[in-house]
Amino acid sequence: MTRKIAIVEDEPAIRENYADILRKQGYEVSTCGNRDEAQAAMEDDLPDLAIIDIGLGDEIDGGFALCQWLRRRSTSLPIIFLSARDSDFDIVSGLRMGADDYLTKDISLPHLVARIAALFRRMEVMDASEPSTDVIRQGRLEVDSQRILCRWNGKPVDLTLTEFWMVHALAKHPGHVKSRDQLMQDSRIVVDDATITSHIKRIRKKFQQIDTGFDCIETVYGMGYRWVEDKQAS
Amino acid sequence: MKLPFQLLALALLLAIVPWIGYRQISEMESRLIDAQVRALQITASSVARALREQDELFAKIPLRDRVEPGRDLYADALGQKPVLDGKDDEWAQMLEQSPRYGKEHIIEILSAFADDSLEFRLATGVFDDALYVFVRVLDDRVVYREVNSISVHRNDNVQMVIVGPGKEIRRYTIATIQPGEATAFLVAARDQGARALATEPRIRATWLATENGYNVEVRIPRDLVESSVGFAVSDVDNQETRALIATIGTSNVFRPEEIGTLLIPSRTLEDRLRRIVGPDSNIRILDGHGRVIAETGNLIDASGIWADLSDDSGDGLPGPVYRMLQPVYDLFMPHSDATILSERRPLDIGGHQITVVAEQNTNGVARVQRQTVAHLMSASLLLFAAGGLALYGAGWIISRRISRLGRQIEGAVDAQGRVRQGLPASSRSDEIGDLSRRFTDVVDRLRQYNTYLEDMSRRLAHELRTPVSVIRSSLDNLSMETPAGDSNVFLDRANEGVNRLANILNSMTEATRLEQSLDATDLEIFDLAGVLRGCVKGYELAWQDRQFSLSIEAEPVKVNGIPDLIAQMLDKLVSNAVEFSPPDSTIRIRLTAEDEAVVRVINDGPSLPAGMEERLFDSMVSVRDGVKSTGSHLGLGLYIARIVAEFHGGDIGAGNREDAQGVIVTVRLPIMRIIGQ
């Protein structure tokens, strides 16, 4: 079954580039230039994944509105924000709207493709619930890179893709300091140091929502971050 | 000069008010005097007219066309009542003016008369209702009357002949048996034997012996006398024979037709004058020979029409204040000497020339001036005080508002020239309010422009992102179509360029994003030394071709803030130091803590250009000159360092090393002190 991807992007060149490359990957791609068009197209026929720009034509927050609209129609539909806006505020807002990931337009197409594939894979695995073969366990942490699933103490941690890749990179070599550059490479995004910092903060918060005593991600000032051994488990 | 003092100086212009007033008062003087003169003229004329119409008043006054000095006598009004003691001290001046009666005035001579054996001087005066006569006789031998003698003439004596109101002639002889009180004898006429008829008790006399003769002082009731009188002194030198030697007289007392006149100021006339004019004029009626017939008022009190304004004290001011200001008033008083205004009106009464002299002093004018000056000065002083105070106050308020505006303007822009905050607009409708509103407007526009400038990099980055991603996605598409392994060098170069461009765009927005995220971040208290230690370990890994030396002189150094940001700041400072230092040199990082935490990053390398120390930390400022650039440099690194330092309540500065072999960047941060620790 060919998966359907909807791209809502007001810049035609970018829209078509993305559409082209995704079609080459075998996806069925529909494109829209603004929110009304997108809502009309998706009214009856929901795609399997939506890539949305935040600023749509005259509507500077049109993407947010569209995201909310889509979330009301389907709670499981993967939504990716792809925007030129990279402020903390926009990222937090976008994720709160219910998006599964927030990417800036710096991202290279192969990375984008990999993310989309990962999202679909997560959906498949969740549907099929087959036993996974690619799982890293660190104390109470369980990172399933096949299902893109992260568990702490057996409870799933609701991470975005970017956050997931960061946790994955840290947990793969516990005790080793991962510099910001390494984290960027591993999570396949290009952002500045401050954005990495805020991502780490959000990750910690998400773990702390499950376990208030969580302190396994340690800041090594000037160098980066590292995963420390889970003392309680050992 | 400060504004309030300028306005105060302006208040000195008010001094023109008393000056004009002073000029006015000076002019007023002549006008006042003119008016007084006119009033005086009217007084004189009306007195003259009244007298002309009532010439019967002059009936009893001996008006003569010709007056013979010595014979025709004048009884001046005396200032005080004489003491009847024969002493001449009260009369000395009048006696000096009296003719010397001597041999030229002999009216009878019976034996040889030595020239200087007898002479006398005489003074007459009126006080109240009595006529006083003083005779000073020079006589070499004084012969008194014998105790039991019937005759009053066989001794030295003074004779008087008085024509009474009924034209009757009375003769008196004053003789005494010893000095002291003397008796006036009414005597018969010579042709009737010159006998003493009776003593006259109404006439009193005192006889005083002197060194070279005697004095006789006589008081005669005024109603005994009308207008003719004669005095004579008879000399007897021989105590034995008592023979008369000679008689010297003011006129020939023995011949009624030759008796001289006595002019006494007329009381009826004076009463009349007093009724015509008040006491504010001195009026004298003179006969043809300048003798005063009548006089009313005295010159000292006669201030004319301004006399009734003579209330000289107070002027509405409290007494002490007035007295205190007295010298000020005196300073401004016109200093003109008191003058006497005099007006004469000739008058013809029964063919005789009479003159009315009306005189007044100008004291009234002086008093009016004085009063006016006092009024003026009080008003001026009040005006000065009030005006000066008001102007000073106004100046103070204005200058305060201006300096407040100045402070606000100064406060609106920080040391780096960034607009810190808006200016509160004044609601006052005056020029200063206007100025304030204009400044508010200007600062607002400046702030908008500033915001625009500050936003520009962010907006630019944002706007550039879209075309960059167009290029990037296109390149990605292109490289995917290229068969694997068939690497295209041009594609790689284009990708490299786009990546660099993306990096530039990221760093352009870094500062803005940092500023935006500051507000949303929670602060924590952390140990600065620990952060430094961790960071330096990282730098040793990152820059293998530099040595790092960390010296921590105090530990722990508690700082309230965001450790990630401090690390970020240090990253910027160290990467800056690395860039400007030669390979294999040592970068020293020092932490000291006294009143505040001080972090110094010291590197070898070129000195800073003069004047760049402050600007170095501004946005988009770079001093790279001759240093090989390895990456994208927008001059934002140190700007971010400054934002972090200022966010933590500290400051950042750069300077050259003392040995001029490098640069020191100093960050000062406040130390968190925990109470009880």
Predicted pLDDT of residue B463: 80
Predicted pLDDT of residue B6: 82
H or E segment and range at residue B323: helix B319-332
Hey, are the CB atoms on B537 and A104 less than 8 Å from each other? no
Chain A / chain B CB contacts < 8 angstroms: 109
- The Cβ-side half-sphere exposure at B508, using a 13 Å CA radius, reads 20
Hey, are the CB atoms on B473 and A197 less than 8 Å from each other? no
Task: Tell me the shortest Cα–Cα distance from A154 to chain B, in angstroms.
Answer: 30
Hey, are the CB atoms on B538 and A105 less than 8 Å from each other? no
H or E segment and range at residue B169: strand B169-175
Q: Are B565 and B559 in contact (CB under 8 A)?
A: no
Residue B414 pLDDT greater than 60, yes or no? yes
Contacts of A104 in chain B (CB under 8 A): 465
pLDDT tens-digit series, residues B559-611: 888 888 888 888 888 888 888 888 888 899 999 888 888 999 998 888 887 77
Task: Tell me the shortest Cα–Cα distance from B509 to chain A, in angstroms.
Answer: 9
Name the residue of chain A whose CA is nearest to B573's CA. Answer: A222
From B180-184, B257-261, B537-541, the region with the lowest mean pLDDT: B537-541
- The Cβ-side half-sphere exposure at B113, using a 13 Å CA radius, reads 23
Nearest-angstrom CA–CA distance, A193 and B509: 12
Give the pLDDT band (50/70/90) at residue B619: low
Q: Are B416 and B453 in contact (CB under 8 A)?
A: no
**3-state SS, one letter per residue, for B35-91:** HHHHHHHHHHHHHHHHHHHCHHHHCCCCCCCCCCECCEEECEECCCCCCCCCCHHHC
Which among A68, A96, A111, A76 is positioned nearest to A206, based on CA atoms?
A96
**Average of per-residue pLDDT across B461-466:** 80
Hey, are the CB atoms on A88 and B516 less than 8 Å from each other? yes
Give the pLDDT band (50/70/90) at residue B220: very high
Q: Are B303 and B360 in contact (CB under 8 A)?
A: yes
Q: Which residue has the higher pLDDT, B521 or A233?
A: B521
Hey, are the CB atoms on B507 and A192 less than 8 Å from each other? yes
Hey, are the CB atoms on A221 and B567 less than 8 Å from each other? yes
pLDDT tens-digit series, residues B623-673: 655 444 444 556 677 888 888 888 888 888 888 888 878 889 999 988 876
Predicted pLDDT of residue B158: 92
Give the pLDDT band (50/70/90) at residue A50: very high
Predicted pLDDT of residue B137: 93
Residue A99 pLDDT greater than 80, yes or no? yes
Which among B582, B616, B623, B588 is positioned nearest to B602, based on CA atoms?
B588
Hey, are the CB atoms on A11 and B472 less than 8 Å from each other? no
Predicted pLDDT of residue B500: 83
Predicted pLDDT of residue B627: 47
From A51-55, B108-112, B354-358, B367-371, the region with the lowest mean pLDDT: B367-371
Q: Which residue has the higher pLDDT, A39 or B481?
A: A39
The structure tokens listed for A106 are: 């710096």
**3-state SS, one letter per residue, for B567-612:** HHHHHHHHHHHHHHCCCCCEEEEEEEECCEEEEEEEEECCCCCCCH
Residue B231 pLDDT greater than 90, yes or no? yes
Nearest-angstrom CA–CA distance, B308 and B36: 13
Contacts of A198 in chain B (CB under 8 A): 517
Residue B448 pLDDT greater than 60, yes or no? yes
Residue A98 pLDDT greater than 90, yes or no? no
**3-state SS, one letter per residue, for B465-495:** HHHHHHHHHHHHHHHHHCCCCCCCHHHHHHH
Percent of chain B with pLDDT over 90: 11
Predicted pLDDT of residue A1: 67
| Side chain identity, residue B550 | L
How many C-beta neighbours within 10 Å does residue B72 have?
20
Residue B488 pLDDT greater than 80, yes or no? no
Percent of chain A with pLDDT over 90: 7
From B128-142, B208-222, B284-298, the region with the lowest mean pLDDT: B284-298
Could you please report the per-residue DSSP string of A172-230?
HSTTSEEEHHHHHHHHT----HHHHHHHHHHHHHHHHHH-TT---EEEETTTEEEEPP-
Nearest-angstrom CA–CA distance, B92 and B98: 10
Residues in B whose CB is inside 8 Å of some CB of A read 462, 465-466, 468-470, 472-474, 476-477, 480, 499, 502, 506-507, 509-510, 513-514, 516-517, 520, 530-531, 534-539, 541, 563-564, 566-568, 570-571
pLDDT tens-digit series, residues B43-102: 889 888 888 888 788 877 877 777 888 888 888 888 889 999 889 888 988 888 888 898
pLDDT tens-digit series, residues A160-199: 878 888 888 888 888 888 877 777 777 766 565 667 777 8
In angstroms, the first-to-last Cα distance of chain A is: 45
Residue B165 pLDDT greater than 50, yes or no? yes
Residue B250 pLDDT greater than 50, yes or no? yes
Residue A64 pLDDT greater than 80, yes or no? yes
Alpha-carbon distances, residue B2 vs B12, B83, B403, B616 (angstroms): 16, 78, 11, 39
Nearest-angstrom CA–CA distance, B568 and B511: 11
Predicted pLDDT of residue B633: 59
Hey, are the CB atoms on B477 and A197 less than 8 Å from each other? no
Nearest-angstrom CA–CA distance, B377 and B326: 10
Predicted pLDDT of residue B435: 87
Nearest-angstrom CA–CA distance, B326 and B30: 24
Q: Which residue has the higher pLDDT, B319 or B476?
A: B476
| All residues at 6 or more sequence positions from B100 whose CB lies less than 8 Å from its CB, including other chains | B119, B121
**Average of per-residue pLDDT across B239-243:** 86
Q: Is residue B601 exposed (0-12), middle (13-18) or buried (19+ Cβ within 10 Å)?
A: buried
Predicted pLDDT of residue B134: 94
Alpha-carbon distances, residue B184 vs B72, B134, B218 (angstroms): 23, 14, 9
Tell me, rounded to whole angstroms, the distance of Cα B651 from its chain centroid: 57
The structure tokens listed for B547 are: 């040595």
Residue B676 pLDDT greater than 50, yes or no? no
Residue B313 pLDDT greater than 60, yes or no? no
The structure tokens listed for B137 are: 């006789």
Q: What is the mean pLDDT of chain B?
A: 82
Contacts of A191 in chain B (CB under 8 A): 506
Give the pLDDT band (50/70/90) at residue A132: low
Residue B310 pLDDT greater than 70, yes or no? no
Q: Are A224 and A131 in contact (CB under 8 A)?
A: no
Alpha-carbon distances, residue B573 vs B533, B600, B634, B646, B651 (angstroms): 15, 10, 15, 15, 14
Which among B468, B470, B457 is positioned nearest to B502, based on CA atoms?
B468
**3-state SS, one letter per residue, for B183-250:** EEEEECCHHHCCCEEEECCCCEEEEEEECCEEEEEEEEEHHHCCCEEEEEEEEECCCCCCCEEEEEEC
Nearest-angstrom CA–CA distance, A191 and A198: 11
Q: Which residues pair with A59 in a beta bridge?
A: A56
